[in-house]
Amino acid sequence: MSRKSTNSGCWICRLRRKKCDEVHPTCGDCDALGLDCLYSDTKPEWMDGDVRQKQMSTAIKTRAKKGQRSRHAAKAMGDDFINTSAIDYHSAKKKTALSEASLVSERTSSIEAGFPIQGPNNGPASSLPIISRPSLTMDEEAEINFTTIYLDNVFPSLFPFYHPSVLDNGRHWVLHLLRRNRVVLHAALSLSSYFFAVALDHAHLGENHHSCKSLVWNELAAQAERTIRLIQKDMQSLQQRGVAASLEDSVNAMQSIIHVLVFDVAVGRTRDWDIHLRPAIALFRDILTHHGTRGSQISLDAILDQMRRPKPSVINMIKPSPATPSQSAFRFFTAMLLHMDIVSSTALEQSPRLLQYHHVFLDDSTGDAKINLEGYVGCQNWVLVSIAESSALGSWKKASDEAGTLSIVDLVRRAEPIFQQLDDGLARLSQAPSTPSRPRPFLSEVYYNQEDLNSALATRIWALAAKIYLTGIVSGWQPRSLPIRDSVSLALSSLQEISSPSMLRALGWPLFVVSCMASREQQEAFRVIFRRLDDLRAFASVGGMLDSVEAIWEQSCIQDNEGWSISKCFSINGEALLLI
């Protein structure tokens, strides 16, 4: 490194009003905090003394906080741990999901979209530490312990609304999947290691447990590396044979990618979650095309029928036959993918990529939807369908505006049936607010309390947030308008009834949308709710959401910025949030 004399140091230090040591190419402060140092004779465009400068300042503060958390974790792991890019992913701006080794070549199909890999010297350093000498392998007893942690603690925490009945195999399919799919197993063990490490930090057990935490962090990194290595191998094999050749292998690959996505969103291992979501969606489409058609129609049953038990059993004698573990797993990951696609579309400002299949899976007009999202994410189908339609409307509005063909009359006309669907649904919830829309599982009271089983409150919160989101698309950014104020107040009242941190985390999308529109007088009430999530701040999706809300509140200029939008709120700190 060299030192050059400049007037005021790098632009990042000048923005932060810090003394710069002027070391090139990266000054000491930027290097320590993981910031992108910038030396230039020309003032950056964002240094405008106005909105863009404030936004950049907020983004830098958030990045600096993340850098401090990473240094704290690395320090806890001792000098033997170093950051490497061996398990990092390619930059979000690159369409290809391949390394220079080109294990999987990109093309239009899901297989050739591949799965991202990273060479040892490419890209930014991973936040996951890798030991500099060969890491200890997880022995059988430790694997059983962390698998149990996943089943007992991690999975229920990640999916607090998911309470399958006995005839749906309960959660037996999860154990079945872990035993059959090594990628999912290693991703699950990674999550368990992360949960356990966070629990150790919260326990404040002192220096005596320093070595224990180091071993846990080391195991987390090792498991994550194994996960990526295995998924690359599986995708290469699937590419060679094709999706049409094997339903089981194709489904396993899709489930693996989704599970890795859940892990990376939880721990913040990559900034671009869409590099996982994109191939998962493409794989799902290929599965439907090659294995999910009856005649010319897409059919979920066509896929599930191929997953029935091939051998006679007592279970098969029951009519209708209970779901097999493979069927339960496919239903679960299909529900998760549909949910992720809808939520992500609001942050990406585009139509949901699976919108064309909603009538197949989510249509509950006759009360028998193929996928009941309420049983998986706590929100009834009609709300999430409304959000999907709103997102598609927003995408249409944006394209029409850019083309100069936008008609406000047409926009309002298209929005009316979505508003009506939300209003009708909220009216039904008001008439029977404590009655679940689906029967409670047999013997469920033995394991789950009333609050967990009642998703009506969660659906109400989602629906009010959906109205706010749709209103913003139709009327623009108007946080002080009466319809917005009413919906925020009602949603705040409902959110105050949620005491479970896991349920609040699962309500991340509506909580974020509603809090972004909070008035200054309501902000403290939301902070009280946020404090219930303090123990979960170590998880990137939670920490990122709370930091983004505070950033929006700090920038009072946003309140009167007609060009602002809820979709832009998701990326206020430079990285789009996936709140799942």
Q: pLDDT, tens digit, for every residue of 208-261?
A: 556 666 666 666 667 677 777 787 788 877 777 777 778 888 898 999 999 888
CA-based nearest residue to 460, from 379, 575, 389 = 379
Write the CA distances from 36 to 10, 12, 28, 146, integer angstroms. 10, 8, 11, 37
SS3 301: helix
Within the chain, which residues score under 70 in pLDDT? 1-8, 34, 65-139, 167-169, 203-221, 223, 269-271, 309-321, 367, 432-453, 556-562
> In this structure, what are the phi and psi dihedrals at residue 23, rounded to the nearest 5 degrees?
-75, 135
d(CA 433, CA 460): 9
Contact 349, 387 (CB under 8 A): no
- pLDDT, residue 313, reads 54
- pLDDT, residue 82, reads 21
Q: Is the pTM of this model over 0.85?
A: no
What residues are paired with 23 via a beta bridge? 3
d(CA 45, CA 80): 41
The residue extents of the domains of the chain are: 2-63, 82-291, 345-441+451-569
| CATH node for 2-63 | 4.10.240.10
What distance lies between CA 192 and its chain's CA centroid?
17
- pLDDT, residue 333, reads 95
What distance lies between CA 551 and its chain's CA centroid?
20
Q: Phi/psi class of residue 429: alpha, beta or left (left: φ > 0; alpha: ψ in -120 to 50)? A: alpha
Contact 383, 461 (CB under 8 A): no
d(CA 97, CA 118): 9
Percentage helix, strand, coil for the chain under 3-state DSSP, each rounded to 5: 60, 0, 35
**Burial (0-12, 13-18, 19+ Cβ within 10 Å), 75:** exposed
Write the CA distances from 132 to 42, 81, 187, 254, 313, integer angstroms. 41, 6, 22, 32, 51
- pLDDT, residue 309, reads 59
Contact 491, 507 (CB under 8 A): no
d(CA 276, CA 294): 29
H helical segments located in 268-380: 274-291, 300-305, 325-348, 358-361, 374-377
**Burial (0-12, 13-18, 19+ Cβ within 10 Å), 317:** exposed
- pLDDT, residue 321, reads 67
Contact 496, 529 (CB under 8 A): yes
The C-alpha torsion from 158 through 164 and 169 to 170, rounded to 10°, is: 60
391 Cβ contact list (under 8 Å, min separation 6): 342, 345, 346, 350, 351, 352
